Amino acid sequence: MTAPSAALTRMDHAVLRSTRRALGGTPAVPVARGLSHFGEHALGWLALGAAGWASGRRQDEWAAGVVGVVAAHAAGVVVKRVVRRVRPSLEDVPALVGTPSRLSFPSAHSCSTAAAAVGFGPVVGRPPMVAVTAVMLVSRVLLGVHYPTDVVSGAALGAGVATVVRRRMLRHPVQRDAGRQS
């Protein structure tokens, strides 16, 4: 292990332990478990997007948000299968929730949540979406199922993918007939 990666591993372990010490015996644990279920396979975010789209208002933005969430979640799963980093396994920080796989990097919950913040923020409000994203990231570490670098990387990947999707889907069509003469 190289010096930079050893230092990063020590930092990951220290943050895992300090998060559990600070929040492990608080109501944050059941909240984190609830968020874990909500975010599993991005289903909670997809349900929110579907409900927003069904409202009939700003459907193009809701659709772009949903596509961004799906694309970000898929990107996270692909990277996870390529990198194959195993989830934390610290004796003093046992996992507090089950997971569908042993793979950890990047956090798919973080990918889809950050994508939801980018995609749905303009229609539901950016401050609440940023707050929910921060809570989701901390929850994954608190539950002992991700390293801090997993959640930060996942959020960056998810926000990046959703930004690209949103820009492409909401691009205004070019007036093709503007230069034509009748």
What are the tens digits of pLDDT across the range 84-106?
998 998 999 999 898 888 999 99
Q: What is the pTM of this model?
A: 0.87
Residue 49: pLDDT band by 50, 70, 90 thresholds?
very high
Residue 7 has phi, psi (to 5 degrees) of -65, -40
Whether the per-residue pLDDT at 179 is higher than 60: the answer is: no
Q: How many CA atoms lie within 13 A of 80 on its CB side?
A: 25
- Percent of the chain at pLDDT > 90 equals 80
The answer to whether the beta carbons of residues 16 and 147 sit under 8 Å apart is yes
The answer to whether the beta carbons of residues 182 and 85 sit under 8 Å apart is no
Place of tokens 């920080």: 93
Whether the per-residue pLDDT at 180 is higher than 50: the answer is: no
What is the sign, positive or negative, of the torsion defined by CA atoms of 28, 71, 80, 37?
A: positive
CA distance 150 to 162: 18
Structure tokens at 150: 């997993």
Reported as a single tens digit per residue, the pLDDT across 104-120 is: 999 999 999 999 999 99
Check residue 5 and give its pLDDT: 84
CA distance 12 to 29: 19
Whether the per-residue pLDDT at 128 is higher than 90: the answer is: yes
- Amino acid identity, position 41: H
Whether the per-residue pLDDT at 175 is higher than 90: the answer is: no
In angstroms, how far is the first alpha carbon of the chain from the final one?
70
Cβ neighbourhood burial of 1 (10 Å; 0-12, 13-18, 19+):
exposed
Reported as a single tens digit per residue, the pLDDT across 151-172 is: 999 999 999 999 999 999 988 6
